[in-house]
Amino acid sequence: MISMTSNLTERELLEAACAGDEEAFRLLVEPQRPGLHAHCYRMLGSLHDAEDALQDALLRAWRGLCGFGGRSPFRSWLYRITTNACLDVRARRPKRVLPIDYAQPAVGDVDEPVSQSVWLEPYPDQMVGLEEGYAGPAARYDTRESVELAFVAALQHLPPRQRAVLILREVLGFSAKEVAESLDTTVASVNSALQRARKAIDERLPEKSQLATMRSLGNEGVREIVEQFVDAFERADVDAIVSLLSEDATFEMPPYPKWYRGREAIADSWLMPGRPPSHLRYVPTRANGQLAVAAYALEPERGRYLPIALDVLTLRGREVVAVTAFRSPELFPRFGLPEELAD
């Protein structure tokens, strides 16, 4: 067995791992794990599905390591295995969507939540950007742009292999030849799939990414928007909340299928009995490379604020054009958020 501090080359680690050294395999894989995980998330739109696919991919890699032979870069080989593991997961499970792609805008109160696994999930911001520096010059999307909600949601509408082609080529910067080898197809087929995928994605994406929007606002501008949002919601001031929204803003709350479009509809939904909950507290955070706030509601019996939703904000200039309130408090630990707040 080798030491964790070993300075062995990749070739030497490969030989040791092929001989059964699990620590050598860990040393080979660990630097690639964050990027592979983000790749699985883009492919599948779900943290849970991404983890399942990555676990399966690494098991396949361990079992197939001796047949690798170094005929291509180790990273390319890992992404080939991981992409195909994701395609297998996708074949067994429904695609992930947001309510805006699932149901009609709401009239009246929300329906019961849809419990099956059809919803896109948020991605912890601390996991974004860890693969920067790996993409080749052909990459078209910045690492953070490539996990924004609009981009990941748009990806889910592509046929799975088109999705894989676009991510491998335009996010990770692999060559058409490498992608063709990964998907066991031809370069011509890859180029054709890429053209179709680009057209479909461009039709669904806004003109300006959230990364570009926040850069144009600057740190101070972004901080002011978050403070105004938190203050309005903690005071349950519907007029102040609405003033932050664009005229065509949307409000979604997965796993509830109904959603709202427009200031008036959103205001009406918040004026319904029991909404917004009284005694809210918010913790600013980041998700999908975007602004987000974690919402906690007071539980009077315990005198503690407990998690209820992770609100991911989409901006257009200084206006909030979309609020996606993920009612998934079980995800809070993944974002490094506290389990409760003191009164």
Judge if pTM exceeds 0.95. no
What is the C-alpha to C-alpha distance for residues 35 and 189, in angstroms, rounded to an integer? 25
Which residue ranges in the chain fall short of pLDDT 50?
5, 130-134, 273-274
Please indicate, yes or no, if residue 13 is contained in any of the structural domains: yes
What is the C-alpha to C-alpha distance for residues 94 and 90, in angstroms, rounded to an integer? 7
The total number of structural domains that make up the chain: 2
Is residue 4 helix, strand or coil?
A: coil
The last residue of one of the domains, among 69, 93, 117, is 93
The last residue of one of the domains, among 93, 122, 141, is 93
Please indicate, yes or no, if residue 326 is contained in any of the structural domains: yes
Please tell me the predicted confidence (pLDDT) of residue 343. 78
What is the per-residue DSSP string for 306-339?
Answer: EEEEEEEEEEETTEEEEEEEE--GGGGGGGT--S
Please tell me the predicted confidence (pLDDT) of residue 133. 42
Please tell me the predicted confidence (pLDDT) of residue 46. 95
The last residue of one of the domains, among 34, 61, 93, is 93
Q: Could you give the dihedral angle defined by the CA atoms of residues 207, 209, 212 and 213, in that order, rounded to the nearest 10 degrees?
A: 80
pLDDT tens digit string along 196-212?
999 999 999 999 999 99
Please tell me the predicted confidence (pLDDT) of residue 97. 94
Residue 293 zone, left/alpha/beta (φ > 0; ψ -120 to 50; rest): beta
What is the C-alpha to C-alpha distance for residues 159 and 91, in angstroms, rounded to an integer? 11
* CB 156 within 8 Å of CB 95: yes
* CB 102 within 8 Å of CB 260: no
* CATH for 228: 3.10.450.50
pLDDT tens digit string along 124-144?
988 875 444 445 555 677 778
**Residue 262 CA: distances (Å) to CA of 202, 253, 266, 341:** 24, 15, 6, 32
What is the C-alpha to C-alpha distance for residues 306 and 291, in angstroms, rounded to an integer? 21
Q: Domain of 236?
A: 210-342
> In this structure, what are the phi and psi dihedrals at residue 274, rounded to the nearest 5 degrees?
85, 0
Please indicate, yes or no, if residue 61 is contained in any of the structural domains: yes
Please tell me the predicted confidence (pLDDT) of residue 125. 87
Please tell me the predicted confidence (pLDDT) of residue 154. 97
| Cross-strand pairs, 296 | 281, 307
